Amino acid sequence: MMSDLIYNEHKYLLEKNYCEYDEERTCYKAFNKNLTSKYGFQYEVGKVYEIDKNELQLGKCGFHFCECALDVDYWYPPNKDTTYAVIEVLGDAICNNIDSNAVTNKIKIHRQITRKELIKEYKISMKDFN
């Protein structure tokens, strides 16, 4: 994996952190109600999805996710059509240093969860910081 890299994209200077997940880490993804992304990509629970790691770009190309459960709300505001899942990062990942939005080239959708379960996951993770 690459270490931190500074690069200029869209005329903003961003710091990209190339994350390493040495062990299974619980992360989260939000979807439209039928497990599709904003761009129509269809996901299924239990399946693994992969793209070429050279195509990976935060905010543009790859399988986006959040490390913090409730950060998914920024990308998919909570409403009756929003669904959530616990995911596993299986490939390379890029995380930004502003929020917990991240992208990977390989992802597994472990299980779908309710909004109530998402909030519970958040509360559990916050206890780890105290």
The CATH code of the domain that includes 80 is 3.20.170
Bridge partners, residue 107, by sequence? 49, 89
Range 20-25 average pLDDT: 63
47 in a structural domain: yes
How many structural domains are present in the chain? 1
pLDDT digits (tens, 9 = 90+) for 49-72: 999 999 998 888 999 999 889 999
51 in a structural domain: yes
7 in a structural domain: no
In angstroms, what CA-CA distances link 30 with 15, 17, 34, 75, 130? Answer: 24, 22, 11, 8, 26
108 in a structural domain: yes
- Whether the per-residue pLDDT at 6 is higher than 50: the answer is no
Cα–Cα distance between 74 and 67 in angstroms, integer? 13
4 in a structural domain: no
70 in a structural domain: yes
- Whether the per-residue pLDDT at 9 is higher than 70: the answer is no
Domain that holds residue 53: 18-127
